[in-house]
Structure 1
């Protein structure tokens, strides 16, 4: 379910509570939203669980994203397993604030999997603008900068593995090229061209994969829209 349904879900719960004749002490549970990103450079397909409930119906492969899920607020156990397996690869208790959106990244190499939980600022951009955030999720990459082709100044700078920026405002455009460069020396690490950046939208731009790889887990950059 999308993040914009959070308030609707809470409102519905409150309405049902007000109509209840059987339980005057009913209190609706607050809701949070979390999207989940497979950022581990592995060919393993994964299953993602909140508590005992599997959240993904389709294959959850490297570079994939599970759109915003509604979860009960407070402390929740989240788990990653290999596709179809019973044993957990990593499990952790995370805390979610009510009516707040989060991005949860499954990060690092498969034998060292960990979670990176970030709170999403979903403030709507001004007209003809968009908002973007940058995250370095390449385990063997050096510190990285993100720039827009044709601009004199880098948009974000000096982000080591698992480091991230705040959301910043950029111009909407039909075709944007994002360049990821090594902070030291400025060599191009990876890029993505002809990205449509839409007015009023919010994006996370994240570096995936391994510098040392030449297969499907090689370094790349992903532009993910926060679908509100």
Structure 2
């Protein structure tokens, strides 16, 4: 009886071995599975004149209400990876693009237009905060100033020179109590951003609109 039992167990060893390998291989992660995280996005309609825009990502609506010119959504959590982003105007005109989003990164997606009315989506990501100063970047989203836009601190020399359409600046640390002055290059018409609008520890994106030098307008977005 003992000999019979031993022979039977030996005969089943290869089967048990193969079954074990099958279990191990099934427990491994599938090589084609892509692990996705979350990113965040803020949506901005930067197109003049005002045409309200609904925004969709992979055919899923992100906006709770259409965005008029100058309006900004709150931050929206999205899956990272390659996504299709679409702005659809109240005139049913569709502007879309494919964007790649990295997990844990925060983005701002602007709808912009050139002088001929051709629209596109421009996407920018966010920097980290500095608790002792305000952190500010600038984006020129008006195509009507060929010479660009200057930005300076109060009466000082410009630290941004001739920022052109669709260009974004580096981030700058601005000390508390410092007002900013903005103007179209060569124009004496100046717009001031009050020091009280830029708080230490906060991150800001300031984007520009305007049809003429006199109507240059800085739009301040709080990014954190």
Q: What interval of TM-score do these two structures reach, taking the shorter chain for normalisation?
A: 0.7 to 0.9
Cα RMSD, aligned residues only = 2.5
Q: Does 1:169 align with 2:166?
A: no
The structure with more helix, counted as a fraction of residues: 2
Indicate the residue corresponding to 2:216 in structure 1: 219
SS in 1 for 2:40: strand
Q: Does 1:100 align with 2:101?
A: no
Deviation at 1:197? 1.4
Aligned counterparts of 1:160 and 1:105: Cα–Cα separation in 2: 16
Q: Does 1:209 align with 2:210?
A: yes
Return closer, same or farther for 1:88/1:53 CA change in 2, 3 Å cut-off: farther
SS in 2 for 1:65: coil
Highest RCO, 1 vs 2 (Cα 8 Å, sep ≥ 6): 1
**What is the TM-score when the length of structure 2 is the normalising length?**
0.76
- Structure 2's unaligned 5+ residue stretches are 1-26
Q: Does 1:198 align with 2:202?
A: no
Task: Spell out the pairing of 1:20-169 with structure 2 (5 A cutoff).
Answer: 29-83=36-90, 87-109=92-114, 111-121=117-127, 123-127=128-132, 129-141=133-145, 142-150=147-155, 152-169=156-173
1:24-58 Cα shifts (integer Å, max 9, x gaps): 96976311111111111122111111111211113
Deviation at 1:220? 1.0
Q: Does 1:187 align with 2:188?
A: yes
Preserved CA contact (<8 Å) 2:40 2:76: yes
Preserved CA contact (<8 Å) 1:138 1:211: no
Higher Cα Rg: structure 1 or 2?
2
Preserved CA contact (<8 Å) 1:147 1:154: yes
Preserved CA contact (<8 Å) 1:179 1:188: no
Deviation at 1:206? 1.1
The structure with more strand, counted as a fraction of residues: 1
Preserved CA contact (<8 Å) 1:89 1:113: no
Preserved CA contact (<8 Å) 2:36 2:81: no
Aligned counterparts of 1:181 and 1:189: Cα–Cα separation in 2: 5
Preserved CA contact (<8 Å) 1:78 1:92: yes
Aligned counterparts of 1:148 and 1:54: Cα–Cα separation in 2: 40
How many residue pairs are counted as aligned between the two chains?
A: 193
- Structure 1's unaligned 5+ residue stretches are 1-22
Deviation at 1:199? 1.4
Aligned counterparts of 2:176 and 2:47: Cα–Cα separation in 1: 30
